[in-house]
Structure 1
Amino acid sequence: MANTPQAKKRIRRNDRRAEINTSRMSRIRSYLKKVETAIAGGDKKAAAEALKEAQPELMRGVARGVLHKNTASRKMSRLSKRVGAL
Protein backbone atom coordinates (compact mmCIF):
# COMPACT_ATOMS: atom_id res chain seq x y z
CA MET A 1 0.00 0.00 0.00
CA ALA A 2 1.25 3.46 -0.89
CA ASN A 3 2.22 5.62 2.07
CA THR A 4 3.68 8.80 0.66
CA PRO A 5 1.53 11.45 -0.98
CA GLN A 6 3.58 11.11 -4.16
CA ALA A 7 2.93 7.35 -4.34
CA LYS A 8 -0.80 7.89 -3.75
CA LYS A 9 -0.93 10.47 -6.53
CA ARG A 10 0.99 8.14 -8.85
CA ILE A 11 -1.63 5.41 -8.27
CA ARG A 12 -4.43 7.85 -9.12
CA ARG A 13 -2.64 9.01 -12.27
CA ASN A 14 -1.83 5.46 -13.39
CA ASP A 15 -5.49 4.48 -13.09
CA ARG A 16 -6.57 7.49 -15.14
CA ARG A 17 -3.93 6.93 -17.82
CA ALA A 18 -4.81 3.22 -18.07
CA GLU A 19 -8.45 4.16 -18.65
CA ILE A 20 -7.52 6.65 -21.39
CA ASN A 21 -5.09 4.26 -23.07
CA THR A 22 -7.66 1.45 -23.00
CA SER A 23 -10.21 3.61 -24.78
CA ARG A 24 -7.59 4.68 -27.35
CA MET A 25 -6.66 1.08 -28.12
CA SER A 26 -10.32 0.14 -28.37
CA ARG A 27 -10.88 2.95 -30.86
CA ILE A 28 -7.90 1.84 -32.95
CA ARG A 29 -9.10 -1.78 -32.93
CA SER A 30 -12.54 -0.64 -34.12
CA TYR A 31 -11.01 1.11 -37.12
CA LEU A 32 -8.89 -1.94 -37.93
CA LYS A 33 -11.93 -4.18 -37.65
CA LYS A 34 -13.76 -2.04 -40.22
CA VAL A 35 -10.93 -2.67 -42.67
CA GLU A 36 -10.93 -6.40 -41.90
CA THR A 37 -14.70 -6.59 -42.43
CA ALA A 38 -14.47 -4.79 -45.77
CA ILE A 39 -11.67 -7.11 -46.89
CA ALA A 40 -13.68 -10.17 -45.84
CA GLY A 41 -16.65 -8.82 -47.78
CA GLY A 42 -14.48 -8.45 -50.88
CA ASP A 43 -15.36 -4.77 -51.34
CA LYS A 44 -12.12 -3.13 -52.48
CA LYS A 45 -13.47 0.43 -52.52
CA ALA A 46 -14.89 0.18 -48.98
CA ALA A 47 -11.69 -1.51 -47.78
CA ALA A 48 -9.55 1.28 -49.26
CA GLU A 49 -11.74 3.93 -47.62
CA ALA A 50 -11.61 2.15 -44.26
CA LEU A 51 -7.84 1.82 -44.56
CA LYS A 52 -7.55 5.54 -45.28
CA GLU A 53 -9.51 6.25 -42.08
CA ALA A 54 -7.54 3.72 -40.03
CA GLN A 55 -4.09 5.08 -40.91
CA PRO A 56 -4.36 8.37 -38.97
CA GLU A 57 -5.79 6.50 -35.99
CA LEU A 58 -2.80 4.16 -35.92
CA MET A 59 -0.37 7.07 -36.21
CA ARG A 60 -2.21 8.92 -33.46
CA GLY A 61 -1.77 5.85 -31.27
CA VAL A 62 1.96 5.97 -31.97
CA ALA A 63 2.12 9.68 -31.17
CA ARG A 64 0.28 9.12 -27.88
CA GLY A 65 2.57 6.25 -26.90
CA VAL A 66 -0.12 3.56 -26.97
CA LEU A 67 1.44 1.66 -29.89
CA HIS A 68 5.02 1.15 -30.94
CA LYS A 69 5.96 2.75 -34.25
CA ASN A 70 7.01 -0.53 -35.85
CA THR A 71 3.81 -2.26 -34.73
CA ALA A 72 1.68 0.39 -36.41
CA SER A 73 3.83 0.25 -39.55
CA ARG A 74 3.56 -3.52 -39.69
CA LYS A 75 -0.23 -3.43 -39.33
CA MET A 76 -0.56 -0.76 -42.03
CA SER A 77 1.73 -2.67 -44.38
CA ARG A 78 -0.14 -5.95 -43.99
CA LEU A 79 -3.54 -4.32 -44.39
CA SER A 80 -2.38 -2.36 -47.43
CA LYS A 81 -1.07 -5.52 -49.05
CA ARG A 82 -4.38 -7.32 -48.42
CA VAL A 83 -6.45 -4.42 -49.77
CA GLY A 84 -4.24 -4.25 -52.87
CA ALA A 85 -4.70 -7.97 -53.47
CA LEU A 86 -8.50 -7.64 -53.66
Structure 2
Amino acid sequence: MANIKSAQKRIKVIAKKTARNRMIKSALKTAIRRFEEAVAAGNLEDAKAKLRFVEKKLHQAAAKGVIHKSKASRKVSRLAVRLNKAV
Protein backbone atom coordinates (compact mmCIF):
# COMPACT_ATOMS: atom_id res chain seq x y z
CA MET A 1 0.00 0.00 0.00
CA ALA A 2 1.22 3.45 -0.87
CA ASN A 3 2.28 5.85 1.90
CA ILE A 4 1.95 9.11 -0.01
CA LYS A 5 -1.51 10.63 0.01
CA SER A 6 -1.62 11.38 -3.73
CA ALA A 7 -0.54 7.80 -4.51
CA GLN A 8 -3.33 6.47 -2.27
CA LYS A 9 -5.82 8.61 -4.17
CA ARG A 10 -4.49 7.37 -7.52
CA ILE A 11 -5.01 3.79 -6.36
CA LYS A 12 -8.67 4.56 -5.53
CA VAL A 13 -9.24 6.39 -8.83
CA ILE A 14 -7.64 3.61 -10.87
CA ALA A 15 -9.77 0.99 -9.08
CA LYS A 16 -12.93 2.93 -9.98
CA LYS A 17 -11.88 3.34 -13.61
CA THR A 18 -10.88 -0.32 -13.89
CA ALA A 19 -14.28 -1.42 -12.56
CA ARG A 20 -16.07 0.90 -14.99
CA ASN A 21 -14.02 -0.29 -17.96
CA ARG A 22 -14.64 -3.92 -16.97
CA MET A 23 -18.40 -3.32 -16.81
CA ILE A 24 -18.44 -1.63 -20.23
CA LYS A 25 -16.38 -4.40 -21.85
CA SER A 26 -18.61 -7.06 -20.31
CA ALA A 27 -21.73 -5.30 -21.64
CA LEU A 28 -20.12 -5.13 -25.09
CA LYS A 29 -19.35 -8.84 -25.10
CA THR A 30 -22.92 -9.63 -24.04
CA ALA A 31 -24.40 -7.42 -26.78
CA ILE A 32 -22.14 -9.00 -29.42
CA ARG A 33 -23.04 -12.49 -28.22
CA ARG A 34 -26.77 -11.70 -28.42
CA PHE A 35 -26.30 -10.37 -31.96
CA GLU A 36 -24.44 -13.54 -33.01
CA GLU A 37 -27.16 -15.72 -31.46
CA ALA A 38 -29.82 -13.82 -33.45
CA VAL A 39 -27.84 -14.31 -36.68
CA ALA A 40 -27.32 -18.01 -35.93
CA ALA A 41 -31.04 -18.46 -35.26
CA GLY A 42 -31.84 -16.80 -38.59
CA ASN A 43 -33.76 -13.99 -36.90
CA LEU A 44 -32.58 -11.27 -39.28
CA GLU A 45 -34.87 -8.39 -38.23
CA ASP A 46 -33.84 -8.89 -34.62
CA ALA A 47 -30.21 -9.18 -35.69
CA LYS A 48 -30.39 -5.84 -37.54
CA ALA A 49 -31.75 -4.12 -34.43
CA LYS A 50 -29.08 -5.74 -32.29
CA LEU A 51 -26.36 -4.67 -34.74
CA ARG A 52 -27.46 -1.03 -34.43
CA PHE A 53 -27.34 -1.37 -30.63
CA VAL A 54 -23.89 -3.02 -30.71
CA GLU A 55 -22.58 -0.32 -33.07
CA LYS A 56 -23.82 2.42 -30.75
CA LYS A 57 -22.26 0.78 -27.69
CA LEU A 58 -18.94 0.16 -29.44
CA HIS A 59 -18.64 3.78 -30.53
CA GLN A 60 -19.59 4.98 -27.05
CA ALA A 61 -16.88 2.79 -25.54
CA ALA A 62 -14.39 4.15 -28.08
CA ALA A 63 -15.39 7.72 -27.27
CA LYS A 64 -14.76 7.10 -23.58
CA GLY A 65 -11.38 5.52 -24.27
CA VAL A 66 -12.34 2.02 -23.10
CA ILE A 67 -11.39 0.60 -26.49
CA HIS A 68 -9.56 2.13 -29.45
CA LYS A 69 -11.72 3.78 -32.12
CA SER A 70 -10.15 1.62 -34.84
CA LYS A 71 -11.03 -1.52 -32.91
CA ALA A 72 -14.63 -0.33 -32.60
CA SER A 73 -14.87 0.36 -36.33
CA ARG A 74 -13.26 -2.99 -37.17
CA LYS A 75 -15.73 -4.85 -34.93
CA VAL A 76 -18.72 -3.05 -36.46
CA SER A 77 -17.46 -3.81 -39.96
CA ARG A 78 -16.95 -7.50 -39.25
CA LEU A 79 -20.35 -7.84 -37.58
CA ALA A 80 -22.02 -6.09 -40.55
CA VAL A 81 -20.29 -8.49 -42.94
CA ARG A 82 -21.53 -11.42 -40.86
CA LEU A 83 -25.10 -10.07 -41.04
CA ASN A 84 -24.87 -9.47 -44.80
CA LYS A 85 -23.64 -13.04 -45.38
CA ALA A 86 -26.63 -14.34 -43.40
CA VAL A 87 -29.01 -12.33 -45.61
- Structure 2 length as normaliser, TM-score? 0.92
Cα distance, 1:39 vs. partner? 1.2
Amino acid at match of 1:37: E
Q: Distance in 1 between matches of 2:64 and 2:26?
A: 14
SS of alignment partner, residue 65 of structure 1: coil
Query: Percent identical across equivalent pairs?
Result: 34
Gaps of 5+ in 2: none
Q: Aligned equivalents of 2:6 and 2:78: distance in 1? A: 43
C-alpha RMSD of the superposition: 0.9
Instruction: Give unmatched runs, 5+ long, in structure 1.
Output: none
Deviation of 1:71 after TM superposition, in Å, equals: 0.8
The count of residues paired between Structure 1 and Structure 2 equals 86
Show the counterpart of 2:60: 60
What is the distance in 1 between the residues matched to 2:30 and 2:64?
17
Structure 1 window deviating more from structure 2 (42-51 vs 60-69): it is 42-51
Aligned to 1:15: 15
Shift of 1:40: 1.1
Q: Which position in structure 1 is the counterpart of 2:79?
A: 79
Q: Which residue of 2 aligns with 1:6?
A: 6
* Matched residue, 2:39: 39
Moved over 6 A (4+): none
> Could you tell me which amino acid in structure 1 is paired with residue 5 of structure 2?
P
